[in-house]
Structure 1
Amino acid sequence: MKNYTREFSYNLKLAYPVILGMLGHTFVAFADNIMVGQLGTAELAAVSLGNSFVFIAMSLGIGFSTAITPLVAEADGANNAAAGKSALKHGLVLCAILGLSLFFIILICKPLMYAMQQPEEVVVLAMPYLDLVAFSLVPLIVFQAFKQFSEGLSQTKYPMYATIIANVVNIVLNYLLIFGSLGFPKLGIVGAAIGTLVSRAIMVLYLWMLLKRKKRFTVYVTDFNFRQIDKRVMKKIIGLGFPSALQMFFEVAIFTAAIWLSGVLGKNAQAANQIALNLSSMTFMVGMGLSVAAMVRVGNQKGLQNFKDLRRIAQSIFLLTLLLEIVFATLFLVGREWLPTMYLDIDDVANQADNLAVVGLAAQLLLVAAIFQISDGIQVVVLGALRGLQDVKIPTLITFVAYWLIGFPMSYYLGLHTDFGSTGIWIGLLAGLTASAVMLYLRFEFLTKRLILNS
Structure 2
Amino acid sequence: MALTDKKFSLWMLAWPIFIELFLQFLLGAADTLMVSRISDDAVAVVGFSNQLFQALTTLFITVASGAGILIAQKIGSRNGEDARTIAIMAVTVSAIIGIGLSVLLYLIPGEIAAILQLPEHLIPLAETYISIVGGGMVLIAVMSALSTSIRNTGNTKGPMYTAIGMNVVHVFFNYAFIFGAFGFPKWGLMGVAVSTVLCRLLATIVLFIMFLSSFERTISLRDFSLFNRKLFGDIIRIGWPLGVNMSCWVFTQLLIFTFLAMLGSNELAARTYMNTLESFCFMLGYSIALAVQIQIAHLYGAGRVKEAYGLAFRAMWIGLGVVTVNAFLIFLFGKQLLGLFTDNKEIVALGVSLLGMNLLLQPGKMINMALGNALNAVGDTRYTMWTSVFSMWLVATALAYYVGIALGWGLIGIYACMILDEYIRGTLSLLRWRGKKFLRKAESQEIAAMALRKQTALEA
TM-score by length of 2: 0.89
Separation in 2, partners of 1:56, 1:71: 24
Alignment partner, residue 349 of structure 1: none
Is 1:207 the counterpart of 2:207? The answer is yes
Separation in 2, partners of 1:235, 1:420: 46
Alignment partner, residue 46 of structure 2: 47
Q: Structure 1 residues 132 and 218, CA, compared in 2 at 3 Å: closer, same or farther?
A: farther
CA deviation vs aligned residue, 1:295-327 (integer Å, no higher than 9, x gap): 111111111212111101222111111111211
**Contact 1:307/1:448 (<8 A) preserved:** no
Is 1:445 the counterpart of 2:434? The answer is yes
Separation in 2, partners of 1:301, 1:115: 46
**Contact 1:78/1:303 (<8 A) preserved:** yes
Alignment partner, residue 77 of structure 2: 78
CA deviation vs aligned residue, 1:333-391 (integer Å, no higher than 9, x gap): 212222211212x3xxxxxxxx1111110111232223111111221222221121011
**Contact 1:72/1:87 (<8 A) preserved:** yes
Separation in 2, partners of 1:318, 1:34: 32
Alignment partner, residue 451 of structure 2: none
Correspondence 1:207-226 to 2 at 5 A: 207-212=207-212, 217=215, 219-222=217-220, 224-226=222-224
**Contact 2:51/2:250 (<8 A) preserved:** no
Letter in 1 for 2:376: R
The Cα of 1:279 is off from its aligned counterpart by 1.9
Alignment partner, residue 359 of structure 1: 348
**Contact 1:336/1:367 (<8 A) preserved:** no
The Cα of 1:448 is off from its aligned counterpart by 5.5
Instruction: Please give the secondary structure, in 2, of the residue aligned with 1:390.
Output: coil
Alignment partner, residue 386 of structure 1: 375
Q: Structure 1 residues 453 and 142, CA, compared in 2 at 3 Å: closer, same or farther?
A: closer
Letter in 2 for 1:38: R
Separation in 1, partners of 2:125, 2:67: 37
Q: Structure 1 residues 138 and 287, CA, compared in 2 at 3 Å: closer, same or farther?
A: farther
Letter in 1 for 2:225: R
TM-score by length of 1: 0.90
Letter in 1 for 2:30: A
The Cα of 1:420 is off from its aligned counterpart by 2.4
**Contact 1:60/1:246 (<8 A) preserved:** no
Q: Structure 1 residues 102 and 291, CA, compared in 2 at 3 Å: closer, same or farther?
A: farther
Alignment partner, residue 31 of structure 1: 30
**Contact 1:60/1:248 (<8 A) preserved:** no
Q: Structure 1 residues 376 and 338, CA, compared in 2 at 3 Å: closer, same or farther?
A: same
Correspondence 1:331-342 to 2 at 5 A: 331-342=329-340
Separation in 1, partners of 2:430, 2:346: 39
Alignment partner, residue 14 of structure 1: 13
Separation in 1, partners of 2:228, 2:149: 18
The Cα of 1:110 is off from its aligned counterpart by 4.3
Alignment partner, residue 139 of structure 1: 139
Separation in 2, partners of 1:326, 1:248: 24
Separation in 1, partners of 2:442, 2:142: 37
Alignment partner, residue 397 of structure 1: 386
**Contact 1:90/1:233 (<8 A) preserved:** no
Q: Structure 1 residues 200 and 364, CA, compared in 2 at 3 Å: closer, same or farther?
A: same
Separation in 1, partners of 2:141, 2:225: 21
The Cα of 1:105 is off from its aligned counterpart by 4.3
Instruction: Please give the secondary structure, in 1, of the residue aligned with 2:230.
Output: helix
Separation in 1, partners of 2:254, 2:22: 19
Separation in 1, partners of 2:236, 2:352: 41
CA deviation vs aligned residue, 1:12-40 (integer Å, no higher than 9, x gap): 33112112223333433322111010111
**Contact 2:28/2:276 (<8 A) preserved:** yes
Deviates more, 1:223-232 or 1:13-22: 223-232
Instruction: Please give the secondary structure, in 1, of the residue aligned with 2:186.
Output: coil
Is 1:284 the counterpart of 2:282? The answer is yes
Letter in 1 for 2:53: V
Alignment partner, residue 187 of structure 2: 187
CA deviation vs aligned residue, 1:253-297 (integer Å, no higher than 9, x gap): 222222211111111111001111122234333333222212111
Alignment partner, residue 455 of structure 2: none
Letter in 1 for 2:32: N
**Contact 2:75/2:83 (<8 A) preserved:** yes
Alignment partner, residue 167 of structure 1: 167
**Contact 2:305/2:443 (<8 A) preserved:** no
Alignment partner, residue 89 of structure 1: 88
Separation in 1, partners of 2:215, 2:442: 34
Alignment partner, residue 307 of structure 2: 309
Is 1:128 the counterpart of 2:128? The answer is yes
Alignment partner, residue 198 of structure 1: 198
Is 1:370 the counterpart of 2:359? The answer is yes
Separation in 2, partners of 1:362, 1:248: 26
The Cα of 1:417 is off from its aligned counterpart by 2.5
Deviates more, 1:321-330 or 1:56-65: 56-65
Is 1:412 the counterpart of 2:401? The answer is yes
Alignment partner, residue 178 of structure 1: 178
Alignment partner, residue 350 of structure 1: none
Separation in 1, partners of 2:172, 2:216: 32
CA RMSD of aligned residues (A): 2.2
Q: Structure 1 residues 180 and 128, CA, compared in 2 at 3 Å: closer, same or farther?
A: same
CA deviation vs aligned residue, 1:233-270 (integer Å, no higher than 9, x gap): 22221222221122112112222222211111111111
**Contact 2:36/2:43 (<8 A) preserved:** yes
CA deviation vs aligned residue, 1:419-454 (integer Å, no higher than 9, x gap): 421111111111111111111221222225644874
Alignment partner, residue 297 of structure 1: 295
Separation in 1, partners of 2:24, 2:101: 18
Letter in 2 for 1:312: G
Instruction: Please give the secondary structure, in 2, of the residue aligned with 1:219.
Output: coil
**Contact 1:24/1:164 (<8 A) preserved:** yes
Q: Structure 1 residues 425 and 88, CA, compared in 2 at 3 Å: closer, same or farther?
A: same
Separation in 1, partners of 2:252, 2:22: 21
Alignment partner, residue 253 of structure 2: 255
Structure 2 gaps of 5+ residues are 1-5, 448-460
Is 1:61 the counterpart of 2:60? The answer is yes
Alignment partner, residue 3 of structure 1: none
Q: Structure 1 residues 116 and 229, CA, compared in 2 at 3 Å: closer, same or farther?
A: closer
Q: Structure 1 residues 444 and 224, CA, compared in 2 at 3 Å: closer, same or farther?
A: farther
